[in-house]
Amino acid sequence: MIDGGVRDRVVIVTGASRGVGRGVALFLAESGATVIGTGRRQEAGNAADRDGAFALVETVVARFGRVDGLVANAQTFRPVMPLADVMPRDMDTLYDTGPKATLWGMQAVFPHMRDQGWGRIVTMGSNAGFHGPAGYGPYSSSKEAVRSLTRTAAREWGPFGIVVNCVCPVSVAHRMEGFADDPSRRAIFETTFSDQPIARDGDAVDDIGPVVAFLLSDGCRYLTGQTLMADGGALLRP
């Protein structure tokens, strides 16, 4: 077991009921952190709603005395579609649960981290924002908005001892279930790993978890506003 450097830290992980969020939450808990996770139903009522995000953080602080870290992972997905077919609902869903929800969570933890002079915020981007795959326009753009918020928060909040970074993870096995009949999405998944240096899917616990844990640790004290590509080298593909 890798030492995550987060022992006794109080960390909120949104979208912790499955996939990357679940893997990260498990790794942090195994590393000794106190983890408060929200699931998909809570995500709709809390993470994507500003008042709900603030209420969640206040509940955490009331129970544990502080909040040290936020992993803003939750985001609802929409079906793959050409840009010409994108409707307002598609954009609203992705932006409400993506960059807007990330911002509300960041705002909610900010005063507590500022007052204690220490805080770690990890957001989640996607290498889709770099590659621009067909059919992923709304999703890719929402993830790039998250990365932009990450850089702005890092610049504004660094003087308070708060570091803010983004992870672009590749760990997609959990998404295959239920999408077997979606040819375009299945084709993207099948070719994702074929020509990258580490030619396999990322494990949410063992591959993504340690990266996020470092960004939540004392060791991450001089790294902020950055994007870490936990993708097996996928960005290096020609």
Active site residues: 139
- Tokens 């593909």 appear where? 237
Interatomic CA distance for residues 112 and 100, integer angstroms: 20
Interatomic CA distance for residues 195 and 215, integer angstroms: 28
Cβ–Cβ under 8 Å, residues 78 and 90: yes
Going by C-alpha positions, the residue among 66, 42, 198 that lies closest to residue 119 is 66
Q: HSE-up of 76 (CA within 13 Å, CB side)?
A: 20
Q: Considering only CA atoms, give the Rg of the chain.
A: 17
